[in-house]
Chains A and B, each alone.
Chain A
């Protein structure tokens, strides 16, 4: 399971990383919007813990909107100093697992993280074979499940259309799916329910 932490204050992000160290193996930390976008293109993430106010023009909500475009089924947790109607309204449509209000305690973070992890696990267990896919393949499967064309997927991931076709072929082989039309789309929709 791979987690991304987006938090502009390094001391806080280090603390969060240390808190969840025992729960997840793969933790990546970003201290600004651009760094987070870079990480998002490099790896596929299951869970994202994001601050909202990043002390720059872009907010954590902007980033979450970007990352959910790429990984439709990523689990989002907001960590914020503000928990008011205005903030909640702004996060509308990003369907976060939960909000953690600063100043937080370690058990709060662990509790919400576990909830998010469970959601990821349920998906992985109910769809055997999904775990065996590489992170790039998982990413592509997520995009396939939104029913968009190969060309659109290739544009989103900055690769050629042919690469996507290769990935599709490999995935069909790995998953050993029945030979019917739209097999990958059906499987993707099962993995990434809306």
Chain B
């Protein structure tokens, strides 16, 4: 029951800025409680005072009115809900003096509702505007009543007046009390949520800081490792520079994807791969011109570290294919497939090129294959290479 209430109170809070969420919750809480109170009192009145059509219709009408803002919030029309609630309260203010023996009862109810107006609208201008409008209406009503042509619809006996006075003041007092309680609870709740979100962001910023430094270190280490190869004259400096550039890009693209993601923690692997492949195609442009790259898989979301490692692996494999894989091949093609089954992530990259040349000494190949082996080790996964009509890489690891 409590959970259901909480669910109703959260109606319409998705996709709304944090400061507005508080107002949506406040509207839902007040409407839910007044709506249920109205339903219960209508039912009790029918039981105690005997069946009365007018009272029943009145009850149904008021509960429907209070239910309306909740429904509007549910449909995502939060601004409408807010103004709807104001309209309902103004309606109460302007009709209340008909059922009480006071002409000033509207004033009292208006003052009682005033904290709500302040809580509902973040701009003070709006609050003042609504208040002035309401005051104007009340004044007009009272003025009209004082005209000599006005006749009272009902007249009360002295006993009735005393009873109604009592009821009216009790309701007004409790109304103000409960209203301020709701607003207070709402504000405390809001403050807690803000603090929670703030500490979440603090952790996130620390993590990002750590990642930045770690990634800079990875780049520096990559250059270190390769500069030793240059010293030994195993690779040319030019190759190292362009290879490192594409490695840096493959890492940078992850962050770009992350920036666009909703939760700032996981990345859509499919869209990452698409951008990475486009990028590699541009880097190796003349060589990659006729090569068709196909990604055939459903999207999955992966953690940042995994995508960075996988991105570097894919970068090495595709670079190898572009550089050495296709010599005199008709309709060259690279296929990328990936899937998640029973928590095991599998990535397959196939090309229809010439396959590996086994005679090539290991040092001559640069650090590409070494990197793939190292990174799959880091993912605690396995890496299988086959040369059946081109090269087939298969990488799988436990998520």
Residues of A within 8 A of B (CB): 8-12, 14-16, 18-19, 31-32, 53, 55, 81-82, 102-106
Q: Can you name the residue of chain B whose Cβ is closest to the Cβ of A15?
A: B221
In the bound complex, CA of A10 to CA of B371 (Å):
9
7 contacts between A and B (CB under 8 A): A8-B378, A9-B217, A9-B218, A11-B218, A15-B225, A53-B210, A105-B220
In the bound complex, CA of A129 to CA of B40 (Å):
92
CB contact under 8 A between A12 and B218, given known A18-B224, A19-B224, A106-B224: yes
B305 interfacial contact with A, CB 8 Å? yes
Chain B residues within an 8 Å CB radius of A55: 305
Chain B nearest CB: distance from A52 CB in Å?
A: 10
Chain A nearest CB: distance from B215 CB in Å?
A: 9
B216 interfacial contact with A, CB 8 Å? yes
B126 interfacial contact with A, CB 8 Å? no
Q: Can you name the residue of chain A whose Cβ is closest to the Cβ of B213?
A: A81
In the bound complex, CA of A53 to CA of B207 (Å):
10
Highest count of chain B CB atoms <10 Å: which of A11, A53, A102, A103: A11
In the bound complex, CA of A105 to CA of B220 (Å):
8
Q: Can you name the residue of chain A whose Cβ is closest to the Cβ of B371?
A: A11
Q: Are B374 and A14 in contact (CB under 8 A)?
A: yes
Q: Are B216 and A103 in contact (CB under 8 A)?
A: yes
B222 interfacial contact with A, CB 8 Å? yes
Residues of B within 8 A of A (CB): 209-210, 213-214, 216-218, 220-222, 224-225, 228, 305, 371, 374-375, 377-378, 380
Chain B residues within an 8 Å CB radius of A104: 217, 220
Chain B nearest CB: distance from A60 CB in Å?
A: 13
Q: What would 13 more interface pairs be, CB under 8 Å, given A31-B377, A82-B209?
A: A10-B375, A10-B378, A11-B225, A12-B214, A12-B217, A12-B218, A14-B221, A15-B224, A16-B221, A55-B305, A81-B209, A81-B213, A102-B216
In the bound complex, CA of A12 to CA of B210 (Å):
14
Highest count of chain A CB atoms <10 Å: which of B213, B222, B228: B213
Chain B residues within an 8 Å CB radius of A106: 224
Chain A residues within an 8 Å CB radius of B209: 81-82
Q: Are B220 and A103 in contact (CB under 8 A)?
A: yes
Q: Are B222 and A11 in contact (CB under 8 A)?
A: yes
Chain A nearest CB: distance from B315 CB in Å?
A: 13
Q: Are B377 and A102 in contact (CB under 8 A)?
A: no
Chain A residues within an 8 Å CB radius of B371: 11
Chain A nearest CB: distance from B276 CB in Å?
A: 18
In the bound complex, CA of A141 to CA of B192 (Å):
55
Q: Are A81 and B214 in contact (CB under 8 A)?
A: yes
Q: Are A103 and B217 in contact (CB under 8 A)?
A: yes
Q: Are A11 and B221 in contact (CB under 8 A)?
A: yes
Pick the contact of B374 from A10, A53, A102, A103 — CB < 8 Å? Answer: A10
Pick the contact of A102 from B217, B225, B378 — CB < 8 Å? Answer: B217
Q: Are B224 and A10 in contact (CB under 8 A)?
A: no
Q: Are A18 and B225 in contact (CB under 8 A)?
A: yes
CB contact under 8 A between A31 and B224, given known A55-B305, A103-B213: no
Chain B residues within an 8 Å CB radius of A10: 374-375, 377-378
Chain A residues within an 8 Å CB radius of B378: 8-10, 31
